[in-house]
Amino acid sequence: MTWVASAVDSRYGVENLPYGVFSTPNDSAARLGVRIGDEVLDLRRVAESGQCATCPTCSALRAPTLNAFMARGREVWSTVRGQVQSVLTDPGMEPHIRPMMTPLAKVTMHAPFLVADYVDFYSSEHHATNLGRMFRPDSEALLPNWKHLPVGYHGRAGTVVPSGTPIVRPQGQRRTPDGEIVFGPSARLDIEAEVGFVVGVPTVLGHPAGVDEFREHVFGAVLVNDWSARDIQAWEYVPLGPFLGKSFATSVSQWVTPLDALDDAEITAPVQDPEVLPYLIEKDRYGYDLRLSVKWNGTEVSRPPFADMYWTPAQQLAHMTVNGAGLRTGDLYASGTVSGPAAHQRGSFIELTWGGKEPVTLGDGATRTFLEDGDTVELNATAMGTEGRMIGLGEVVGTVHSH
Amino acid sequence: MTWVASAVDSRYGVENLPYGVFSTPNDSAARLGVRIGDEVLDLRRVAESGQCATCPTCSALRAPTLNAFMARGREVWSTVRGQVQSVLTDPGMEPHIRPMMTPLAKVTMHAPFLVADYVDFYSSEHHATNLGRMFRPDSEALLPNWKHLPVGYHGRAGTVVPSGTPIVRPQGQRRTPDGEIVFGPSARLDIEAEVGFVVGVPTVLGHPAGVDEFREHVFGAVLVNDWSARDIQAWEYVPLGPFLGKSFATSVSQWVTPLDALDDAEITAPVQDPEVLPYLIEKDRYGYDLRLSVKWNGTEVSRPPFADMYWTPAQQLAHMTVNGAGLRTGDLYASGTVSGPAAHQRGSFIELTWGGKEPVTLGDGATRTFLEDGDTVELNATAMGTEGRMIGLGEVVGTVHSH
């Protein structure tokens, strides 16, 4: 039980404790914080209050991004998390800790970590099947490689932005239905609701990370909105994949949820058939039962279930490195659009509106197929934390601005 | 005329002066240097010898990578280049400058810059046509979008390595001709000889760099070997593009040639038909007459001509940012394989051996289709410098090691 009143019935209780980077009106330096209830605990001040100014962990906690702390490894992550939980539940610590806390409403949030490489997967069978049906109606919905490997590609790390960053509608080339090549603002601006995993501990080039080493390397999870301009993407993507249809912006939550907070959200992942190659076989195969929510101008239009994902984050990590590609601290890899089997579980608007043919109606009676200027999309997720208390994953919000 | 004797008949004379990062046995700190003949001029010592310890340019010259200097912009780049040319041609400066120089043979070279995002284009018409003929023999060799936009995709920035780094043969999945899915070391390991451009001056997210702003943003050029595992790539790349077939390693030269050194290598680029969209139309359309050389275990097997490229680096930059994607200092974008119309001008082994069907014979009588363990590939390039003197672009060397 924590002494922080706003945390008692919150999805940001002591079971959660995500990490972020913030500043305050009185101190504009970006620094690490932990969210507890509706407040932020200043980790730089916690580190400075100790007697260990020179130890690497305290140095990492005084840095302006999470990267140095994430590089320290699981033992340090667990120790620090345990210490934070301890001071937030010991009433005797309140007089010491209270001055290091600031209400969320008074802080400015920043990008939580410096993104090294950004990889986007395509690991929901329902999503891949939906897109296959729409784009290749006369063929098998899933391509032949899809059940043998987690299909993925590299995105643009430099345009990963924190929640709240305005999304400028991209311009680009597209081909009209009668074959004309035109230029202008995207007319089919979409979202992809995804879950991302952040690498803490790097590898050496040439040495793959094994499928059972996921917890050694991955620090935590974020929510991701992989904004997508479907018209730009459709024209450009053959044969080398998506490029400008995705690279204008990818939003991530301001808070990184540590894997330790998701232990009780682990759930057996779907059985894979055909059997995968040995490097993708997990001793303990699990996914995470994260329940996503997609709000469009305030109306919840979808509840994608992450528990259904065919490929797990451990398999994605193993696949991404099996060729010897090195990991760096700050590498971000996202799941691909999370879609469930039901219509109201689809994580992109192209699926929800079936290619723009079936508009959705929002709470104010307005109808939509793709995003209009001024529209706001908000992603949230909940998961089971310890002691039967639900935790929340930080929201991802973005508003579309005209070019 | 320089007073540096080794530079007099060199392709690294005062017309060239590429930048790199080096250390010496006596001083293991990585620092900036300029190559002149067979020697390296220590820019940190040059900066320290001045009276301006606090000016941003001198700080940038004392940094361990080129990034801070590249971020300073064209005016600073030209000023520093002019000053270095001046001291290397004024015999009166020799006593002051000589102690700041080290023979190349005594230095250790490091990665010249920290790569932000890495983009790989596909801009040689001959290369795209050759691959289309091999992979889609019954269709048009070029896909419909190819002449409307420079097709490209993001690669893995974290595995861009400097020349000399050993290349570990990647393992991965592939499909055999009879449809079996197998795992093992790539059996079709290939190269791609390319030219890369390095961004110095960033942009703001949402603000494209115009096609005529190339020289404002781009600092210089490197040679690139985009190692490619063709069997892994062929199985994985539909529908999201190349991933593990490329991400194990991309080699770049240790020396970055400033654009100013390539002024006299500018050449009118090929006429484009059909006409491109306005954002890709250049006031002054030019490419660079760089003559590449590909050596396989010491035998020159190809001489790809960069002058033939259909899409110019200025068009690539404009396209890459037209959707509002921001540029960061250290962004690297490569041309795609450079191939000319003739058989001995092809920049990849899959083209040179026509999919492995026509082996090449090396100088020692050995034949090759794809790379064997122990093989070494060396890329070089020459270009016309000022005053009719040829300059060299730093070599890219890599040796294949077994997994």
What pLDDT is attached to residue A332?
99
Co-location of A101 and A145 in the same domain: no
Q: In A, which residues are within 8 Å of B247 by CB distance?
A: 154, 320, 323, 325
C-alpha dihedral, B50 to B54 to B57 to B58, nearest 10°: 40
How many Cβ atoms from other residues are within 10 Å of residue A9's Cβ?
A: 9
Co-location of A63 and A144 in the same domain: no
Residue written as tokens 């994902």? A309
What domain count does chain B have?
Answer: 2
| Residues ≥6 apart with Cβ < 8 Å to B388 | none
What pLDDT is attached to residue A185?
98
Q: What is the pLDDT of residues B303-342, one digit of tens each?
A: 999 999 999 999 999 999 999 999 999 999 999 999 999 9
Look up residue A119 and give its DSSP letter.
E
Residue after which a domain boundary falls, among B90, B110, B130: B110
Query: Within its chain, how far is the Cα of B129 from the centroid?
Result: 22
Co-location of B259 and B395 in the same domain: yes
Rounded-to-integer distance, Cα B222 and Cα A363, Å = 55
How many Cβ atoms from other residues are within 10 Å of residue A153's Cβ?
A: 27
CB spacing of B117 vs A158 below 8 angstroms:
yes
Residue B203: CA count within 13 A, CB half-sphere: 25
Q: In A, which residues are within 8 Å of B240 by CB distance?
A: 122, 151-153, 237, 241-242
Beta strands in A47-170 (DSSP E): 101-103, 108-110, 118-121, 152-155, 160-162, 167-168
Q: Is-contact A396 A253, C-beta < 8 A?
A: yes
Q: Is-contact A377 A225, C-beta < 8 A?
A: yes
Which amino acid, one-letter code, is at B107? V
| Residues ≥6 apart with Cβ < 8 Å to A157 | A115, A116, A117, A118, A332, B116, B117, B157
Residue of A nearest to B167 (CA): A206
Rounded-to-integer distance, Cα B181 and Cα B179, Å = 7
Residue after which a domain boundary falls, among B80, B110, B140: B110
Q: Which residues of chain B have pLDDT under 50?
A: none
CB spacing of A324 vs B170 below 8 angstroms:
yes
Residue of A nearest to B182 (CA): A277
Rounded-to-integer distance, Cα A113 and Cα A198, Å = 9
Nearest CB partner across the interface for B323, out of A116, A247, A322: A247
Tokens for A74? Answer: 């699981």
CATH of the domain at B352: 3.90.850.10
CB spacing of B153 vs A326 below 8 angstroms:
no
| Residues ≥6 apart with Cβ < 8 Å to B182 | B173, B174, B175, B176
Q: 3-state class of A366 per DSSP?
A: coil
Sheet of strand B390-401, all strands in order from the earlier edge strand to the far edge: B167-168, B390-401, B376-384, B291-296, B299-302
Q: Is-contact A56 A47, C-beta < 8 A?
A: no
Co-location of B183 and B44 in the same domain: no
Tokens for A261? Answer: 């907070």
Co-location of B227 and B374 in the same domain: yes
The ipTM estimated for the assembled molecules is 0.97
In Å, how far is B322's CA from the nearest CA of chain A? 6
Give B296's strand partners. Answer: B299, B377
For residue A36, give its domain range: 5-110
Co-location of B218 and B343 in the same domain: yes
Question: Residues of B with catalytic annotation?
Answer: 127
Q: In A, which residues are within 8 Å of B241 by CB distance?
A: 153, 237, 239-242
CB spacing of A277 vs B173 below 8 angstroms:
yes
Co-location of A175 and A74 in the same domain: no
A120 assigned to a ligand binding site = yes
Does B320 contact chain A (CB < 8 Å)? yes
Give B376's strand partners. Answer: B399
- Grouped pLDDT means (10 residues each) for chain A, 403 residues: 94 97 97 98 92 82 97 97 97 96 98 98 98 90 96 98 98 96 98 98 97 98 98 96 98 98 97 98 98 98 98 98 98 98 98 97 97 98 91 96 92
Co-location of B249 and B351 in the same domain: yes
Query: Nearest-CA neighbor of A332 among A224, A249, A243, A205?
Result: A224
Q: 3-state class of B186 per DSSP?
A: coil
CB spacing of B241 vs A241 below 8 angstroms:
yes
Co-location of A159 and A105 in the same domain: no
Query: Nearest-CA neighbor of A379 among A130, A230, A123, A163?
Result: A163
CATH of the domain at A98: 2.30.30.230
The CA-CA-CA angle for residues A116, A194, A312, to 5°, reads 85
Residue after which a domain boundary falls, among B71, B88, B110: B110
Co-location of A347 and A366 in the same domain: yes
Q: 3-state class of A287 per DSSP?
A: strand
Co-location of A29 and A105 in the same domain: yes
Co-location of B98 and B160 in the same domain: no
Residue B13, burial from CB neighbour count under 10 angstroms (0-12, 13-18, 19+): buried
Beta strands in A176-290 (DSSP E): 181-185, 189-190, 193-199, 218-225, 228-229, 250-252, 257-258, 266-268, 286-288
Q: Is-contact A332 A396, C-beta < 8 A?
A: no
Question: Residues of A with catalytic annotation?
Answer: 127
